[in-house]
């Protein structure tokens, strides 16, 4: 194996997380390559790809456009604008397919559970009522199971629809104004699977030659992502597993245990991670019989967010920490499902005693134990996986174990229902009133959803932390999801203490008033963890409710979105949905669009005239914070507040 040698500087430029830096040093000592080593070997990255100017859509290619000279066209005549627009739409298609396929699995699980075939108690009774109400499903005299089944079938009917009608789930979720605006733009999606097929077709060699038409389809696919991926996914998952409510836990690699069996759940599907948590609890005695002190489950990526939100399971780390968790030498089993799982974890695991279990037909890793989960077999499969972990615990090599001490208190579980629940302690009749009054009074300047990933191009967590610090100091309320929520959790932003440390004076007073009224005995955390990336729909719901309360459009609210360290195609789809909704969306990593002046201009400027939202590209977190604050102030002025 190549010797990987790095200086302390290198570790520091890789991450600001002390636990991650400690594990990078350990990896270096033990000669275990990580994603940062592979990143170095990729440098310099291809300039054509970076600008979005490479096309491989037919076998005459690859073609590339030279922004400084010739060639200006691909072999078929496609120019820079067309190639960039096509590539962008394909990126969004990758993200949208990921979310909708995830959601489809959740619907199948709900259907099977409601039919009594799968061992999942349906826990979200309140969500059944609210979703049934919005879908117009009669609940009177029906059991929860029967209503849940009707909801599942309604969701499936969107995916099975052959009519020209827009997606039902979208229609019943958004305001009439938004629906009509999207109708006028011609971007209302029908059957989501059909939209994905059509857009793949549209981007094929020799079909659409219009960059603007391709960008309109990008907006449409953003809506597919938003309503057939995020919204439907969250609604269905809340019905199955319950609506999250505030829960205290911890975050960072220090949550791993020296004397317990450590199981990591990694990926996105709560129907798998919830079962692992359930059976880890049920089989704890078996672990104790073999000499362990118990079983400790911790989460990485959005699986971590899902089980934190509903079960209080601690967060081990975000996307860039997945290899580092294994490098502690203390992970007995990593259970993965889909999305954001680096194939490299197999090589890293082979340097330790760690076992890896894959669980889905599309997410397999050579060398892992494949235990195919289905809703019906979930109990049996989860037991099998947990027992593998117990057996692996005995093989842990104590000499290789080094668990960083770093961990922080972190609260999760801030669903919209939980937030309005806390606010209703101040005004039971009108829960949003206290929040809106404080926004109007300027105690809360505005709100920003800071979301998305880690990206090896950015020092891990740095942009997120710097940006959020500035927003909070300026009395902006922050909500977070995804790996960004993990990042903020690690540095105490998801704890009441974090409010005292980071929130501006006025914001702190509001957080304290709400936290005390809600019985937390102190302030709310300054950053509210709203869940996984699929749970970004919760932010959409909150924006919709605020806009409705104020009688304005979402685009008029003093709010913004930001993905300071995005990497995945899904983050681009989510960002596109946010822009379509009317939200200014900051991205801290330059997307591969700069090769087309037209596409860049449409996305960062012209689209605002259509949807009210736009992308804002800024890699410097301080500049970005200023840009976002300016935007919020402009929106406030326009509202006369
Ligand atoms: O869906 S934030 S790295 S884990 S893509 Fe992936 Fe990005 Fe993390 Fe969750 Ni979201
Ligand atoms: Fe080249 Fe056109 Fe084929 Fe793309 S579609 S690879 S630009 S010939």
566 CA: nearest ligand 1 atom: 7
What separation in angstroms does the CA of 46 have from each of 50, 232, 370, 459? 6, 38, 35, 20
| pLDDT tens-digit map of 594-630 | 999 999 999 999 999 999 999 999 999 999 999 999 9
The protein residue with its alpha carbon nearest to ligand 1, atom 4, reads: 301
CA of 182 to the centre of ligand 1 (A): 27
| pLDDT tens-digit map of 307-363 | 999 999 999 999 999 999 999 999 999 999 999 999 999 999 999 999 999 999 999
Mutate to test the pocket of ligand 1, among 103, 340, 562 (most ligand atoms within 8 A of CB): 340
Cα–Cα–Cα angle for 542, 561, 170, rounded to 5 degrees: 50
How does residue 520 score in pLDDT terms, banded at 50, 70 and 90?
confident
567 CA: nearest ligand 1 atom: 7
The protein residue with its alpha carbon nearest to ligand 2, atom 2, reads: 76
Give the number of whichever ligand sits closest to the CA of residue 533: 1
The first and second tokens of residue 529, run together, are 């963890």
Contacts 24+ apart (CB under 8 A), 603-612: 603/215, 603/579, 607/215, 607/219, 607/579, 610/185, 610/219, 611/181, 611/185, 611/219, 611/555, 611/579, 611/580, 611/581, 611/582, 612/553, 612/554, 612/555, 612/556, 612/582
Count of all residues that appear for the chain in the document: 641
State how far the Cα of 359 lies from the Cα of 348, in Å rounded to an integer. 19
Residue 294 Cβ contacting ligand 2 at under 6 Å: no
| pLDDT tens-digit map of 335-349 | 999 999 999 999 999
571 CA: nearest ligand 1 atom: 5
Residue 58 Cβ contacting ligand 2 at under 6 Å: yes
Nearest to 469 by CA among 558, 538, 339, 564: 564
| pLDDT tens-digit map of 237-261 | 999 999 999 999 999 999 999 999 9
Pocket of ligand 1 (CB under 6 A): 268, 301-302, 319, 340, 452-453, 482-483, 532-533, 567-568, 570-571
205 CA: nearest ligand 2 atom: 5
Give the number of whichever ligand sits closest to the CA of residue 73: 2
What separation in angstroms does the CA of 146 have from each of 128, 129, 154, 236, 520? 10, 12, 12, 14, 37
Give the number of whichever ligand sits closest to the CA of residue 206: 2
Q: Is residue 190 helix, strand or coil?
A: coil
CB count within 10 Å of CB 58 equals 15
The protein residue with its alpha carbon nearest to ligand 1, atom 9, reads: 302
What separation in angstroms does the CA of 41 have from each of 35, 36, 459, 589? 10, 9, 17, 20
The protein residue with its alpha carbon nearest to ligand 1, atom 1, reads: 533
Mutate to test the pocket of ligand 1, among 452, 536, 562 (most ligand atoms within 8 A of CB): 452
Residue 3, pLDDT score: 44
| pLDDT tens-digit map of 47-68 | 999 999 999 999 999 999 999 9
Location of structure tokens 């909708």:
100
pLDDT tops 70 at residue 200: yes
Give the number of whichever ligand sits closest to the CA of residue 574: 1
55 CA: nearest ligand 2 atom: 4
The first and second tokens of residue 597, run together, are 């002046």
How does residue 4 score in pLDDT terms, banded at 50, 70 and 90?
very low
The residues, ordered by sequence, that sit 6+ positions from 228 with a Cβ below 8 Å of its Cβ are: 96, 99, 100, 103, 158, 159, 167, 169, 170, 189, 192
Calculate helix-pair angle for 536-550, 416-423, nearest 10 degrees.
40
pLDDT tops 60 at residue 6: no
Mutate to test the pocket of ligand 1, among 99, 273, 570, 574 (most ligand atoms within 8 A of CB): 570
CA of 87 to the centre of ligand 2 (A): 12
Strands (E), 384-475: 408-412, 446-450
Mutate to test the pocket of ligand 1, among 97, 482, 490, 563 (most ligand atoms within 8 A of CB): 482
| pLDDT tens-digit map of 502-514 | 999 999 999 999 9
How does residue 431 score in pLDDT terms, banded at 50, 70 and 90?
very high
């Amino acid at each position: 194996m190549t010797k990987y040698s790095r200086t302390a500087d290198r570790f520091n430029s890789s991450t600001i997380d002390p636990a991650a830096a400690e594990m990078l040093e350990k990896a270096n000592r033990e000669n275990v390559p990580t994603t940062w080593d592979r990143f170095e070997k990729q440098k310099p990255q291809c300039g054509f790809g970076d600008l979005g100017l490479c096309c491989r859509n037919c076998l005459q290619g690859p073609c590339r456009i030279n922004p400084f000279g010739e060639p200006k066209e691909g072999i078929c005549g496609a120019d820079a604008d067309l190639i960039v627009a096509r590539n962008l739409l394909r990126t969004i298609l990758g993200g949208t397919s990921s979310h909708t396929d995830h959601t489809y699995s959740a619907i199948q699980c709900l259907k099977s559970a409601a039919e009594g075939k799968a061992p999942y108690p349906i826990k979200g009774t309140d969500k059944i009522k609210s979703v049934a109400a919005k879908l117009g499903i009669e609940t009177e005299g029906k059991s929860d199971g029967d209503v849940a089944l009707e909801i599942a079938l309604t969701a499936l009917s969107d995916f099975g629809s052959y009519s020209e009608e827009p997606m039902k789930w979208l229609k019943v979720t958004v305001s009439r104004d938004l629906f009509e605006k999207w109708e006028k733009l011609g971007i209302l999606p029908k059957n989501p699977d059909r939209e994905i097929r059509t857009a793949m077709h549209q981007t094929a060699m020799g079909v659409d030659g219009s960059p603007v038409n391709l960008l309109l389809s990008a907006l449409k696919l953003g809506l597919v992502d938003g309503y057939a991926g995020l919204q439907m996914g969250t609604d269905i998952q809340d019905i199955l597993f319950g609506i999250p409510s505030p829960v205290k836990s911890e975050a960072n690699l220090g949550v791993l245990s020296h004397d317990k069996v450590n199981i990591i759940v990694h990926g996105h599907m709560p129907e798998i991670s919830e079962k692992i948590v359930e059976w880890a609890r049920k089989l704890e005695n078996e672990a104790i019989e073999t000499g362990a002190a118990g079983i400790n489950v911790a989460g990485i990526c959005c699986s971590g967010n899902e089980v934190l939100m509903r079960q209080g399971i601690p967060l081990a780390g975000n996307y860039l920490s997945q290899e580092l968790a294994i490098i502690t030498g203390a992970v007995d089993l990593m259970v993965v499902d889909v999305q954001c799982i680096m194939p490299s974890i197999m090589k890293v695991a082979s340097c330790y005693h760690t076992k890896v279990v894959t669980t889905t037909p599309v997410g397999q890793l050579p060398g892992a134990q494949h235990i195919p989960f289905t809703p019906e077999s979930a109990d049996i499969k989860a037991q099998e996986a947990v027992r593998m972990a117990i057996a692996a615990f005995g093989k842990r090599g104590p000499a290789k174990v080094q668990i960083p001490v770093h961990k922080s208190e972190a609260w999760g579980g801030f669903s919209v229902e939980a937030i309005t629940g806390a606010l209703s302690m101040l005004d039971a009749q009108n829960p949003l009133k206290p929040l809106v009054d404080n926004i109007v009074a300027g105690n809360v300047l505005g709100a920003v959803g800071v979301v998305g990933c880690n990206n090896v191009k950015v020092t891990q967590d740095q942009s997120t932390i710097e940006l959020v610090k500035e927003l909070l100091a300026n009395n902006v309320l922050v909500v977070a999801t995804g790996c960004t929520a993990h990042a903020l959790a690690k540095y105490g932003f998801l704890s009441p203490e974090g409010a005292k440390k980071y929130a501006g004076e006025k914001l702190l007073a509001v957080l304290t008033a709400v936290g005390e009224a809600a019985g937390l005995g102190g302030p709310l955390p300054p950053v509210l963890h709203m869940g996984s990336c699929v749970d970004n729909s919760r932010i959409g719901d909150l924006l919709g409710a605020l806009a409705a309360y104020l009688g304005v459009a979402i685009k008029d609210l003093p709010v913004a979105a930001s993905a300071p360290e995005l990497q995945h195609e899904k983050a681009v789809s989510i960002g596109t949905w946010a822009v379509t909704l009317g939200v200014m969306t900051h991205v801290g990593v330059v997307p591969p669009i700069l090769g087309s002046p037209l596409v860049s201009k449409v996305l960062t400027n012209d689209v605002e005239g259509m949807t009210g939202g736009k992308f804002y590209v800024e890699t410097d977190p301080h500049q970005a914070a200023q840009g976002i604050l300016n935007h919020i102030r402009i929106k406030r002025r326009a509202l006369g507040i």
